[in-house]
């Protein structure tokens, strides 16, 4: 009886450790390109990248995979974020946003993306830390 309980507890421990390690640190990385003319999302997991490619091939003009918002400055009279228009393209395992107007030096830009966002993992369900709605990955970039 003791051996059976020990074997079951070892199997459960290995299973829980495997679940807790999977995809925890593999969030997509959002950053400016080297010359700061575009924004790149890279480190996208294979399943999410496949979904992005399928949506892009189906209708590239209407798919909004990421949004880039211009953050108001402290002295700006407009206190709302304004969406920055631009085009998104896929290059290899990355998503690239090219704005219609160049990024302004000294401005902050908020990038929001649902790529790679998961509703809940098995580990979240076990620990009871699931959320009731999806939260986008957000990154503030300063040019």
Q: Which residues have CB under 8 Å from 18's CB, separation 6+?
A: none
Q: pLDDT digits over 25-64, tens only?
A: 578 899 999 999 999 999 888 888 888 888 888 876 666 7
Q: Is the pLDDT higher at 123 or at 68? A: 68
CATH number of the domain at 117, please.
2.60.40
Residue 89 lies in a domain: yes
The whole-chain average pLDDT of the chain stands at 76
What's the structural domain count of the chain?
1
Residue 2 lies in a domain: no
Give mean pLDDT, residues 88-106.
Answer: 91
Structure token digits, residue 111: 């990038």
Residue 104 lies in a domain: yes
Q: What angle do CA 89, 26, 113 make, to 5 degrees?
A: 40
Residue 65 pLDDT: 79
Residue 74 lies in a domain: yes
Residue 123 lies in a domain: yes
Structure token digits, residue 39: 């924004």
Residue 122 pLDDT: 62
Residue 3 lies in a domain: no
Q: Is the pLDDT higher at 14 or at 91? A: 91
Residue 4 pLDDT: 56
**What domain range is 100 assigned to?**
26-142
Residue 1 lies in a domain: no
Give mean pLDDT, residues 68-97.
Answer: 84
Structure token digits, residue 135: 């939260």
> Quick check: 130 and 120 in contact, CB under 8 A?
yes
Residue 52 pLDDT: 86
Taken as a whole, the chain contains a residue count of: 143
Residue 136 pLDDT: 81
């Amino acid at each position: 009886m003791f051996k059976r309980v020990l074997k079951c507890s070892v199997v459960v421990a290995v299973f829980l450790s495997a679940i807790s390690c999977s995809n925890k640190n593999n969030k997509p990385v959002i950053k400016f390109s080297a010359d700061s003319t575009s924004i790149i999302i890279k480190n996208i997991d294979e399943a999410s990248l496949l979904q992005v490619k399928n949506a892009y091939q189906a209708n590239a003009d209407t798919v909004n995979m990421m949004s880039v918002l211009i953050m108001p400055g402290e002295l700006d009279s407009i206190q709302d974020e304004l969406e920055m228009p631009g085009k998104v393209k896929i290059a290899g395992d990355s998503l690239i946003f090219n704005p219609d107007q160049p990024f302004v030096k000294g401005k902050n830009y908020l990038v929001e993306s649902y790529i790679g966002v998961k509703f809940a993992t098995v580990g979240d369900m076990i620990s009871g830390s699931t959320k009731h709605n999806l939260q986008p990955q957000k990154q503030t970039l300063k040019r």
